[in-house]
Structure 1
Amino acid sequence: MSDSASPLRILLTNDDGIDSPGIAALREELTAIGDVTVVAPAENQSGVGRARNELAVRRDHPWGYALEGTPADCVAYGLRGLETDFDIALSGINDGPNAGNYVVGRSGTVGAGIESAFLGTPAIAVSSYHARDFFCHPPEEYDFSRPARVARAVTERVYGAGIFDDVDLLNINAPIDVPSPRMRVTRPLADYDQQVDHHDDTNLLGDGDREDTLNDDEMLVRLRDVSWPGTVGYENPFPPRDEHRERYPVGSDRRAMVDGEVSVSPLAVHHGHTEDPKLASVVESLSEQIE
């Protein structure tokens, strides 16, 4: 581990791809406090969670390496395939928020942090949002410098302070457009639904030249996330703001976003278990019945 006189050895990745402006802004800030090695996906890998591949092509990059793989692949390679003994891994800056239990669970940005934690290296996942636009798309039109400064400040303060004795991963959502935002320790809030539609039009698969048709016993099923109330897909869920303030309690990551704050959620990734005497009783009784 680095001592107080040595710069941090930082592994940096993301899920939007190595050429995204978010990772460029974060790298620029982190180089002021440590030695930064980038191992990031060659292409956009949003929403892949902690998916892994057995094989991946590595290409040299001025910042380190571009990997034709997932964010978790990048972290696994960086921590076990390079000679550097990294102190901490950062992932981001994602050009949209990763808030709420369900969204966090399948985020490629957070997935990289989870992979790092399983491999014994503390991690910070950093995502951004815009208080009016919500998603920062297209990312080239947004300035990621504020979330980058937030990430740098948090990294400087938490590393070596004992935070990672009990915390595996910090998940940060920072506003791009709110001056001097308040920072709040939060918890991911479970708020998710699924909208299911049935269709018989194969053109919905995205290939306008598709000639095959569905058989009589087939149906095209569309599964669409309802990650925020009243929205489907990438709509801005913030208006009306009062409605969301009532829905999300103070201390949740989503309430912090509604209020234009920086959400910092400490996460444990090693899937703990819950003691349940009722389950223990059922299992004990079944063990006596099964021959």
Structure 2
Amino acid sequence: MDADAEPHVLLTNDDGIDAPGIRALADALAAVARVTVVAPDRNRSAVGRSLSYGRTSSSDDESLSLDLADSAFTSRVPHSDHELGYAIDGTPCDCAIVGVNAIEPEPDLVVSGCNSGANLGAYVFSRSGTVSAAMEAAFLETPAIAVSMDTLGYDDLEPSDFSLAGDVAATLVENVPGTGLFDRVDYLNVNVPGPDTDPDGIALTRPTEVYEMDAARVDGQFQLTNRLWQQMANRDIPDPDDTDRHALLEDEISISPVTVPYDVVDTEPVRSLLERFFADAF
């Protein structure tokens, strides 16, 4: 796009179109871009890269069919009009696909958020609906920014509480197009400190690789414990200095440049092993 032209931004999220975080971003981005909102009609947090495709049908006949007509590969995604845009009965990735392919003109950039809750660490990318929408856009060759805020300990948030996230998103949207940044990375994962925090600058980070989900059987019942969030709450973490979680707990705005995971391992050693495994099997 022309560096001087106003960018067209597709805005989505996973908290739902009525969440305060997306309202804050819609207002902030409207000052620097043309904004189209396509977001889930209700909370779809932590659904990862789930799609509605195949769960609904364009036909009244829900039985298995061997008909390979175009309709066999098409699923309807219901929506309703909303004051912000389109409320989709679907997932964040549904919204990204609809917004990139079915909205005119095609968006220059996808922004996902602002999520109520930080999205930190490599392990979270395939789990978070917020980050997954940005990842989906990247696979569709549209640059994207995922924006999340640390809300641990905060309740009943209003759009005004997300003002820092809105300012950060607007700054990126206003300045990044035309710089060539998205020729080198596919999307940015941005995390900002909580609403009462005076941020201590910007940190260029990498997603932490620390992952500490725990499980136990207690009194005959299984239970999960999220050690990562427990550490966040205690402000006591093992993450290296250059990671996203470390930066956020230092009250910095964390920005992680990310590429989508389509690189494969060196196939020659793998092929040799597989040939040996299956040498006499088939």
Counterpart selection for 1:259 from 245, 250, 258: 250
Distance (Å, rounded) in 2 between the aligned partners of 1:88 and 1:143: 24
Deviation at 1:80, TM superposition (A): 1.4
* 8 Å Cα contact 2:9/2:36 also seen in 1: yes
Instruction: Extract unaligned runs of 5+ from structure 1.
Output: 201-220
Structure 2 counterpart SS, 1:155? helix
Alignment of structure 1 residues 31-110 onto 2, 5 Å:
31-54=30-53, 55-110=76-131
* 8 Å Cα contact 2:206/2:242 also seen in 1: yes
Distance (Å, rounded) in 1 between the aligned partners of 2:232 and 2:146: 22
1:137 maps onto 2:158 in alignment: no
Partner amino acid, structure 2, of 1:271: Y
My pick for the range that moved more, 15-24 or 270-279, is 270-279
Matching residue of 1:189: 208
Deviation at 1:32, TM superposition (A): 1.0
1:179 maps onto 2:179 in alignment: no
Structure 1 counterpart SS, 2:94? helix
* 8 Å Cα contact 2:33/2:174 also seen in 1: no
Structure with the bigger RCO (C-alpha within 8 Å, sep 6+) is: 2
Deviation at 1:192, TM superposition (A): 2.7
Alignment of structure 1 residues 200-239 onto 2, 5 Å:
222-228=222-228, 231=230, 237-239=232-234
Structure 1 counterpart SS, 2:264? coil
Deviation at 1:71, TM superposition (A): 0.9
Deviation at 1:227, TM superposition (A): 4.8
Deviation at 1:285, TM superposition (A): 3.5
Structure 2 counterpart SS, 1:85? coil
Return the TM-score normalized by structure 1: 0.81
Distance (Å, rounded) in 2 between the aligned partners of 1:16 and 1:148: 16
Matching residue of 1:15: 14
1:167-213 residue CA offsets vs partner (Å, 9 max, x unmatched):
1111000113322431111111122323243666xxxxxxxxxxxxx
Deviation at 1:276, TM superposition (A): 6.4
Instruction: Extract unaligned runs of 5+ from structure 2.
Output: 54-75
* 8 Å Cα contact 1:97/1:135 also seen in 2: no
Return the TM-score normalized by structure 2: 0.83
Identity %: 39
Q: How many residues align?
A: 258
Deviation at 1:158, TM superposition (A): 2.2
Deviation at 1:270, TM superposition (A): 3.6
